[in-house]
Amino acid sequence: MHFMQSLKDAWRRNDSLVCVGLDPEPGRLPASIAGDADAIFAFCRDIVDATADLVCAYKPQIAHFAAQRAEDALERLIAHIHDRHPGVPVILDAKRGDIGSTARHYASEAFDRYKADAVTLNPYLGHDSIAPFLERADKGVILLCRTSNPGGKDFQALDCGGEPLYLRVAETIAREWNGNGNCALVTGATWPEELGKVRAVVGDMPLLVPGIGAQGGDLEAALRHGLTAAGDGLMISSSRAILYASGTSDFAQAARKATDELRQAVNRHRG
């Protein structure tokens, strides 16, 4: 199944624009699970199993696994999602970027090893660094555009011939890199007006929107500026507010409740 089709199907089937970020923090796992030798996997699996009918995608963040030598848990987690919740696409949040010959290995890491449906990438190295991903037409290629963090402005907001760098990035990707129709962009909820400027130049291209919750982004403004005419086009990403909604043994049910509250809050603005 193509990532873009899976995403659209999941938007509709689950009536949800919510993407749950799977960022396991060893120090924040509930006591009921922290002693498990396979705690990272068990924690994420339980979150997934409690929320799969409420989301449009999952987004495991690879550094949270790599810092713990838990690549194997990440492989099994993605296999679990594909097996038990087919139709919910998995975005590997890796933000890779390297010259073409090395980019092929990163594409293999994301798509062949981990079997992700999409991957986040950094566009700073230009087209040949992304080409090995773009040519996998069934896979999603989600490029950093205007990121949600405070430092996002340091270079992304620089004026490049009358418009900010992030808009040049958005235009280049929409016009030149999206021949297979498999591109999407990362645009933070912390900059809703800039999100709207991106929307204006990329048409209906999906936007992955982090920054709600712990980072303080304005959900209503992000939706107002980012929704397409069809009332979708967004993956509203939330990680910590869902994963750590409860620090005790009811974490999975608390995660379900937090996911559904976000889903409904989003849907109230979709009209």
What residues numbered 163-182 form the site for its own copies, per CB under 8 A? 165, 168-169, 172
For position 113 contacting its own copies by CB under 8 A, the verdict is yes
CB of 153 to its own copies, least distance (A): 7
Binding residue for its own copies, selected from 45, 64, 139, 256, defined by CB under 8 A: 64
Neighbouring C-beta atoms of residue 227, cutoff 10 Å: 20
Q: Is 106 in the site for its own copies (CB under 8 A)?
A: yes
Q: Which of 5, 13, 36, 112 binds its own copies (CB under 8 A)?
A: 112
Distance CA 40, CA 19 (A): 19
Applying CB under 8 A, among 1, 66, 79, 200 the residue interacting with its own copies is 66
Residues of this chain, 2-41, that bind its own copies according to CB under 8 A: 23
Beta-sheet pairing, 159-160 with 140-146: unpaired
Q: Pick between residue 102 and residue 228 the one whose CB is nearest to its own copies.
A: 102
Q: Across the beta sheet with 118-121, what order do the strands follow?
A: 57-60, 18-22, 234-238, 207-209, 183-187, 140-146, 118-121, 91-96
Q: Does 132 bind its own copies (CB under 8 A)?
A: no
Q: Contacting its own copies (CB under 8 A), which of 12, 36, 38, 63? A: 63
Q: Which stretch binds its own copies (CB under 8 A): 35-43, 100-108, 200-208, 242-250?
A: 100-108
| Contact (Cβ atoms closer than 8 angstroms) between residue 249 and residue 30 | yes
Gap between the Cα atoms of 46 and 152, Å rounded: 33
Structure-derived torsion over alpha carbons of residues 200, 204, 206, 208, reported in degrees to the nearest 10: 30
Pairing of strands 18-22, 234-238: parallel
237 binds its own copies (CB under 8 A): no
Q: In the complex, what is the shortest distance from the CB of residue 126 to its own copies, in angstroms, rounded to a whole number? A: 2
Helix (H, G, I), strand (E, B) or coil at 72: helix
Q: Give the integer Cα–Cα distance in Å for 70 and 20.
A: 19
Report if residue 149 touches its own copies, rule: CB under 8 A. yes
Is residue 123 a contact residue for its own copies (CB under 8 A)?
Answer: yes
Identified binder of its own copies from the candidate list 27, 83, 159, 181, rule CB under 8 A: 159
- Rounded Cα–Cα distance for residues 147 and 191 (Å): 8
Total Cβ atoms within 10 A of residue 74: 25
Residues designated catalytic: 95
Quick one: how far is CA 84 from the chain centroid? 20
Binds its own copies (CB under 8 A): choice among 2, 76, 82, 95 = 95
Residues binding its own copies (CB under 8 A): 23, 61, 63-64, 66-67, 69, 71, 95-103, 105-106, 108-109, 112-113, 122-130, 144, 147-156, 158-161, 165, 168-169, 172, 210, 214-215
